[in-house]
Structure 1
Amino acid sequence: MNQASAQARKAALVFGGSRGIGAAIVDRLATDGFAVAFTYVSSADKAKTLVDRIAEQGGQALAIQADSADPAAIRNAVAQAVERFGDIDVTVVNAGVFRMGTIDAVSLEDLDLMLNVNVRGVYLSIQATVPRLKPGARVITIGSNVALHTRTPGASVYQLTKTALAGMVKGVALDLAPRGITVNNIQPGPTETDMTAGALDMLAGMNPLKRVAKPGEIAGLVAYLAGDEAGYVTGASLTIDGGFTL
Structure 2
Amino acid sequence: MTESQQQPEPAEDTSKHRAIKSFVMRAGRMTEGQQRGLDQGWPKFGLELEAGAADFDAVFARRAPRTLEIGFGMGHSLLEMAAAAPEQDFIGVEVHKPGVGALLNGLMTQNLSNVRVYSCDALEVLRQCVADASLDRLLLFFPDPWHKSRHHKRRIVQPAFAELVRQKLKIGGVLHMATDWEAYAEYMLEVMNVAPGYTNLAADGRCVERPSERPTTKFERRGERLGHGVWDLKFQRSV
User: Scaled by the length of structure 1, what TM-score is found?
Assistant: 0.50
Q: 2:142, 2:180 within 8 Å by CA — same for their partners in 1?
A: no
Q: 1:91, 1:140 within 8 Å by CA — same for their partners in 2?
A: yes
Q: 2:71, 2:93 within 8 Å by CA — same for their partners in 1?
A: yes
Q: What is the CA-CA distance between 1:37 and the residue it aligns to?
A: 0.7
AA in 1 matched with 2:65 = K
User: Scaled by the length of structure 2, what TM-score is found?
Assistant: 0.51
Q: Within 2, Cα distance between the matches of 1:125 and 1:185? A: 22
Q: 2:126, 2:168 within 8 Å by CA — same for their partners in 1?
A: no
What's the counterpart of residue 67 of structure 1? 121
Greater than 6 Å deviation, 4+ residue runs: none
Q: What is the CA-CA distance between 1:52 and the residue it aligns to?
A: 3.6
Q: What is the CA-CA distance between 1:87 and the residue it aligns to?
A: 4.0
The count of corresponding residues between Structure 1 and Structure 2 is: 170
Cα distance change of structure 1 residues 173 and 11 upon mapping to structure 2, 3 Å threshold = same
Q: 1:7 aligns with which of 62, 66, 69?
A: 62
AA in 2 matched with 1:76 = Q
Query: Gaps spanning 5+ residues in structure 2: where?
Result: 1-55, 201-205, 211-215
What's the counterpart of residue 88 of structure 1? 135
AA in 2 matched with 1:111 = H
Matched residue of 2:193: which SS? helix
Larger of the two Rg values belongs to structure:
2
Q: Within 2, Cα distance between the matches of 1:142 and 1:29? A: 18
Q: Within 1, Cα distance between the matches of 2:79 and 2:194? A: 23
Q: How well do the aligned residues superpose, as a CA RMSD in angstroms?
A: 4.4
Cα distance change of structure 1 residues 9 and 159 upon mapping to structure 2, 3 Å threshold = closer
More helix by share: 1
Q: 1:169, 1:185 within 8 Å by CA — same for their partners in 2?
A: no
Query: Gaps spanning 5+ residues in structure 1: where?
Result: 175-183, 226-232, 236-246
Q: 2:90 aligns with which of 12, 36, 43?
A: 36
What's the counterpart of residue 173 of structure 2? 138
Q: Within 2, Cα distance between the matches of 1:121 and 1:47? A: 27
- Please tell me whether residue 118 in structure 1 is matched to residue 139 in structure 2: no
Cα distance change of structure 1 residues 73 and 35 upon mapping to structure 2, 3 Å threshold = closer
Q: Deviations over 1:27-83 (max 9, x none)?
A: 314431222111112x22222321342344333211112335xx544312425xx9x
Q: What is the CA-CA distance between 1:7 and the residue it aligns to?
A: 1.8
